[in-house]
Structure 1
């Protein structure tokens, strides 16, 4: 009897399923115990991968609860790639849909932050712009556009996700206060860094990502946050090496791109 790939896959990821009938080892013996060992090793490896990918979630829930969640997640969302860096991409949505965790509304957004940090770590390399490139006439600067490093990520949440992340990763970090927080992830060197954005900062960066000029993005941010501090957010971008080029609009209305 031939075992289909779907049967094998389903049994491999669910310890509650029977070993597929007709499954044999290399010596034509019933797979039995060997299959159970293999199935257990796969589950353990994927559970460990979830702990490594979402350490703050694991800390918030506890090891035993995280192990249980990883098992449920594994059966509902089996791996779609042999690369473990991609495993867990749907975990934030999975957490948001868990009725038993509805009283911990911040969990899914904290998971989004951890996932974004992982994606930023694996993003393509880039060269940051020299800050001196921005030393042009104010009118020209406001009419210019920026391009960003592939590693940069922007997250917005009604929860204090940056404070929760810090409290669970840094010794002596202050206890989170109930407030909405916007976070920008940059990768100035080898490891990504989550930065708390000032009010209006996320609106400005999001507008720039959509292709707006610095000035138009500022107006959009100031409309929502009248006291928006452009300088503070720009400084975070420069410190994080997140700006890779500036395209200046010339007098002939032809754009001039200034790369590193």
Structure 2
């Protein structure tokens, strides 16, 4: 192990001694100075996780969260200098973290918060004008082959838990006491303008969107959605997506774009 690797390893492992190569300009104890630096680095990374996962922290309390986050930081230090990307492995860490086992929905709440971060940093794209889609939908012979492109920020989370309601409760939109966390929910996360939205959708709507994201046409997506959810309403779903700014482009196919 070279001196740089030794320094990094000691920085995140409190059981390691201060690297022997360290010296100070004024002759003070390097171990004492290194301990301060180690603490500052750990605290800064925990703060970054707390900023990215505020609802997770609220659900478990600050003390529990910071203790859990400290273990995660030591196990999974950042790989880049972009702290907005840090914490991608936290949901899986939570799932395996025995002290959090009494909150089985916690990992999915963390996944939802990760999707919000990704949506915030996703590329910009102008939403499709409603009249453009209306014109495309007015051609029933070509409707089944219509391709819809979704906004780059669109992401889906299908959970066995009430992640949308838990999120809303921690934004003050619902009373937490009224939320049954064990109610399965599907979440659509996207950025509408400058705001990242978390929207609850039906399972059929979620499958419809997943199929569109796979590059398959509207007809195929609608058939799959109806097979899963007899209550799927294509018109209502498209209206909902347009209002949310989730559709950015439509074409019949790659060879024949819309007029």
User: Normalising to structure 2: TM-score of the pair?
Assistant: 0.91
Q: Give the aligned partner of residue 9 of structure 2.
A: 10
Deviation at 1:235, TM superposition (A): 2.4
Q: Give the aligned partner of residue 168 of structure 1.
A: 170
1:143 and 1:248 in contact (8 A); partners too: yes
1:205 matched to 2:196? The reply is no
Counterpart secondary structure, 1:80: coil
Q: Give the aligned partner of residue 256 of structure 1.
A: 257
Deviates more, 1:239-248 or 1:27-36: 27-36
- Structure with the higher helix share, 1 or 2: 2
Deviation at 1:195, TM superposition (A): 0.6
Cα distance, 1:116–1:158 mapped onto 2, change above 3 Å = same
Deviation at 1:121, TM superposition (A): 0.3
CA RMSD across the alignment: 1.9
Q: Give the aligned partner of residue 190 of structure 1.
A: 194
Cα distance, 1:11–1:257 mapped onto 2, change above 3 Å = farther
Q: Give the aligned partner of residue 124 of structure 1.
A: 123
Q: Give the aligned partner of residue 84 of structure 1.
A: 83
Counterpart secondary structure, 1:256: coil
Gaps of 5+ in 2: none
Q: How does 1:24-63 map to 2 (within 5 A)?
A: 24-26=23-25, 30-63=29-62
1:247 matched to 2:251? The reply is yes
2:161 and 2:185 in contact (8 A); partners too: yes
1:198 and 1:229 in contact (8 A); partners too: no
Counterpart secondary structure, 2:171: coil
Q: Give the aligned partner of residue 75 of structure 1.
A: 74
2:190 and 2:196 in contact (8 A); partners too: yes
Gaps of 5+ in 1: none
Give the Cα separation in 2 of the matches to 1:181 and 1:101. Answer: 21
Deviation at 1:133, TM superposition (A): 0.9
1:159 matched to 2:161? The reply is yes
Residue of 129, 132, 150 corresponding to 2:152: 150
**Superimposed CA distance per residue, residues 109-132 of structure 1 (whole angstroms, 9 cap, x where no aligned partner):** 110000000110011111111111
Give the Cα separation in 2 of the matches to 1:65 and 1:256. Answer: 54
Give the Cα separation in 2 of the matches to 1:104 and 1:83. Answer: 29
Q: Give the aligned partner of residue 140 of structure 1.
A: 142
Counterpart secondary structure, 2:183: coil
User: Normalising to structure 1: TM-score of the pair?
Assistant: 0.91
Give the Cα separation in 2 of the matches to 1:193 and 1:83. Answer: 23
Give the Cα separation in 2 of the matches to 1:151 and 1:195. Answer: 13
1:186 and 1:237 in contact (8 A); partners too: no
Give the Cα separation in 2 of the matches to 1:98 and 1:230. Answer: 41
